[in-house]
Structure 1
């Protein structure tokens, strides 16, 4: 990894505000043993749960205990084992049922696009499956919120129509499932809901209609746009009936899973009864207190099957295996939906396959120098030698050396000045990323032919500067990295070699480039690339600078260099803090405008 010293902000006046992520002990970070502070307004000390959180957890445990208590009286080990073996004997039947289950979500995705035409097919499908995944691993149906956040994170659609269309469709879903349950198992629904069934259905219907009318009035369908981009577009009052009918059909398709599991377990269910069991179970899951509705799902499905005359043992086996299959589907497909299509739920994790065209180069004067800048933090033993070993000229152009002293507490600045470098001093230690920003800014002011960055610890050979700068000076590349792994390594500690290899593989995957050394401390920039380069955090620069310049279309090259591990001083890099600070910065860089 690159071990040069940190540096300062690009503009020398006024001095930047203190940065909490300083890479050295000089700007100590909070002691992790002390624990994180309480967030503002939390009303509770750090590390303690609020009373509401404890109440939610207690409610979940009570529901789980009741459900498990009910199920323990109905579980039959032989029935469960027999049903499980039956599933294994007919994989095509199970896969066909899961395919119909998937079709139910494809139908919901289509109806969502009917209501919200600006939503792409891929993101509609993804949001529904991210929501399904959340509902299978989180309590309180929190997956419903993920449906909205998935669209908002991954598209440019405004929040209001996304929320309104989601409420409309979810209300249509619930109205449909209650009606199916009431039609398929009226006695069971009456026993479960009693006099509340009518008010619940009425309330859900009002929510669906009100949200749908508000949405349609506020966001009329553009003329000429049908749900799939074809046909006569209508701002239709048909959106609500379409959403409701699609919800009904989707629940019918979902019932294929319980129907197939029951068939394989030897439980005779008609298609209508399978729909009724599915509807009653989902209606009972409207507010699932436990993660994934575990326990309450099995209890509701077992009760529904028992009401249809199925013995309790086989009924529980069918309920548990149906829930298991749906959970497997949600984990596999929902996990995929977190990443596909791009951008994923967590944002972009890689650069686009197609990058912008190469920016036009800046004009270079015949007498323009090559500028080398060296960030320094407490490197008095080596910085003078680094400066003296740099040649006076590079490819016929004079070399100007700038040392950015990042708040050193030793004689680094004096040694650099004595060796002939221009010294730019920081008032305090700000970080390596900030140092690189400052060095680039100072170099650009000199209208250079090329800019070279070099570490101050003598791990890299100053004599290799012409080799690193050559692709920039010939116009072949805008951003050049001296690769230790393509060149000669005299010595590198095994753990550092492994760390560099792993991080380089990560950079290669993110950039889709043939990167062999993602952390090298020897780099060259064209005048245009040096002017455009941005470093989004102060701790380090390596990955974010590469991502920034590639995303802007600058041409990347590597050249082999020599490397020898430092014989004095100590690297500031520690694996834990490095990953904790670099990974979030890389994510910000990938998802910056």
Structure 2
């Protein structure tokens, strides 16, 4: 409770400071200079593009330096990490982008521990600040500037703190290296990269200043960059809003420029760098794979097809599983219509009664089906899971399942299990859209089309019916299948089996809308249950 209250207070303070900073900037900035800058940059965007390219190169150098300290970190993920941090610092208060850099590396690089990622980040961020102080001080000396009193004391304190952070991070890295971690303290190459990054970043300040009409050179841009960035050490609002502008204005005033025009230049700088942060940071959240959000699709390269195992016995049955919940009105008819043999093998119909209260189990038994009862309603995914396990226990040559409401014709069982019995596929889906649909409500047709497109994108397979309730599995696939949630099975079962290398196929089937009972699917609950389960399956 205390932690929650403290967090709420911090966010409220950040929001208040953000509002105050925006109000102060609006009241103080030279609006005419800002408008002129906008017109100049729009008329001649080449300078802005060069500035953004240099800004991007600066962060690419920082990412490269990170790989020198953390060899296990791929260059692409290092680039992503520094840009996720940049985006986080622009959008979140209290410089929360820095922890996101560590999170990005740990979540996206297998085997990379948080200690190594954190120690390397701390060490490099400290070295980055030391480098900024060095280039800023060098530029000030070159311009003959003197920073006295409070300003000089602040620079000295910042230098001591940055040096301490750098040293502490390096010591931490040495300790981790002694324990067998693949890390190393920042070497000459990493330090050189951090030094070179700041002059590149200062190009944005240079372009922004000239856009508002200020006569600024490279040394002056470095002074302003140092003042503005160092001011963000105490940033509370997102992006250091207010503190960055205050530091930049202090730098411009030190160089003898008008404060209101200097503020306009700072605002232009922020606008340019924010565009970069949003675009590059947004890309970095998603790429390279795996994304910060986790894997969003199956990988392009899947494992080889698992071994088929021993051939089924000559008299091994085809097991047709009918998951059922309150389907007393239809289950007996579906059981009776199921063929007694398919492709030379006997058929055993198994009804999984998922907590029905209307006599479904009684009617299924009377019609000749075996019945497995859950006792309470657990969900379609759980019922299919039970049915697959029961089929494997019966030594099935193939396990198929269809709905007990009559929407899928049991007479077409041979077509669905055919590729499995022939050894051509391990997992077969009966496609309604490749076959004949007698009736489907328009909103359900639309929903099925959208979800099928999603499954096709997730799997990188030419799926034509991602939600079909008529499917068949080989004995190996049925034994290996995992359904990670009870509510449903369609997407997660397909992802599970394809992700394990099982061979997929589709066959056309007929479909007729149910004439009894009601569907359990409700859009809101469906999305709340299925989308997180799909994410878990992809990142298992």
TM-score interval for Structure 1 and Structure 2 normalised by the shorter chain:
over 0.9
Deviations along 1:539-573, one digit per CA (max 9) or x if unpaired, are: 11000000000011111111111111111111111
Q: What's the offset of the Cα at 1:189?
A: 5.8
Tell me, what secondary structure is at the counterpart of 2:419? Answer: helix
Distance 2:473 2:114 in 1: 41
Normalised to the residue count of structure 1, the TM-score between the two structures is 0.86
Q: Which residue of 1 aligns with 2:226?
A: 279
Contact kept? 1:189, 1:280, Cα under 8 Å: no
How far did residue 183 of structure 1 move?
4.1
Using the size of structure 2 for normalisation, the TM-score is 0.95
Q: Where does residue 171 of structure 1 map in the other structure?
A: 126
C-alpha separation in 2, matches of 1:236 and 1:341: 25
1:207 correspondence with 2:162: no
- The 2-side partners of 1:119 and 1:194 are apart by 38
Contact 1:376 1:404 (8 Å CA) reproduced: yes
Match in the other structure for 1:47: none
Deviations 1:6-37 (A, max 9, x none): xxxxxxxxxxxxxxxxxxxxxxxxxxxxxxxx
Gaps of 5+ in 2: none
The SS at the match of 1:557 is strand
SS at structure 2 position matched to 1:401: strand
Residue 23 of structure 1 corresponds to none
1:65 Cα deviation from its structure 2 partner = 5.0
Is 1:197 the equivalent of 2:155? yes
Instruction: Identify, as 1 or 2, the structure richer in helix.
Output: 2
- Counterparts of 1:432 and 1:163, CA distance in 2: 44
RCO (CA 8 Å, sep 6+): is it higher in 1 or 2? 1
3-state SS in 2 of match to 1:566: coil
Q: Which residue of 2 aligns with 1:56?
A: 10
Which deviates more, 265-274 or 438-447? Answer: 265-274
**Cα 1:562/1:408, change in 2 over 3 Å:** same
State the alpha-carbon separation in 1 of the partners of residues 471 and 404 from structure 2. 13
Partners of 2:526 and 2:139 lie apart in 1 by 59
Say whether 1:461 aligns with 2:409.
yes
Partner residue of 2:481?
Answer: 533
> 1:292 Cα deviation (Å)?
1.9
Specify the SS of the correspondent of 1:403: strand
Query: How much has 1:485 moved relative to structure 2?
Result: 0.8
The DSSP-based 3-state class of the residue aligned with 1:375 is strand
Matches within 5 A, 1:533-572: 533-572=481-520
Aligned-pair Cα RMSD in Å: 2.1
Deviations 1:166-224 (A, max 9, x none): 110011112222333444458686466453432332122122112213313431699xx
Aligned 8 A contact 1:480 1:557 in 2? yes
Q: Distance in 2 between matches of 1:390 and 1:535?
A: 26
Quote the residue 2:369 is aligned against.
421
1:14 equivalent in structure 2: none
- Which of the residues 209, 212, 216 maps onto 1:265? 212
Structure 1 residue corresponding to 2:285, chosen from 316, 330, 338: 338
Q: In structure 2, do the counterparts of structure 1 residues 212 and 433 end up closer, same or farther at CA, with 3 Å as the change threshold?
A: same
Write the deviation string for residues 321-359 of structure 1: whole angstroms up to 9, x where unpaired: 111111111111111111111111011000011111111
Checking the alignment, whether the CA contact within 8 Å between 1:371 and 1:450 is kept in structure 2 is: yes
In the alignment, the residues of structure 2 paired with residue 468 and residue 65 of structure 1 have an alpha-carbon distance, to the nearest angstrom, of: 63
Out of 124, 129, 140, the position equivalent to 2:94 is 140
C-alpha separation between the residues in 2 aligned to 1:344 and 1:479? 29
Name the CA distance, whole Å, in 2 between partners of 1:65 and 1:134. 19
Report matched runs for 1:104-253 at 5 Å: 104-155=58-109, 156-185=111-140, 190=148, 193=151, 195-219=153-177, 239-253=186-200
Answer yes or no: is the 8 Å Cα contact 1:259–1:274 preserved in 2: yes
Determine if contact 1:182/1:189 at 8 Å carries over to the other structure: no
TM-fit CA distance, 1:247: 1.8
For 1:89-108, list aligned pairs within 5 A: 89-108=43-62
Distance 1:148 1:236, change over 3 A: closer
CA distance in structure 2 between the aligned counterparts of 1:573 and 1:286, rounded to whole angstroms: 52
Moved more, 302-311 or 89-98: 302-311
Question: Is the counterpart of residue 356 in structure 1 residue 303 in structure 2?
Answer: yes
Aligned length: 535
Check 1:192–1:407 CA distance in 2 against 1; reply closer, same or farther (3 A cut): farther
1:496 is the counterpart of 2:448: no
Q: Residues 365, 305 of structure 1: CA spacing in aligned structure 2 closer, same or farther, 3 A cutoff?
A: same
> In 1, are the aligned partners of 2:300 and 2:460 still within 8 Å (CA)?
yes
Are the aligned partners of 2:419 and 2:428 in contact in 1 as well (CA < 8 Å)?
Answer: yes
Counterpart of 1:380?
A: 328
SS class of match (1:285): helix
| 2:474 counterpart of 1:474 | no
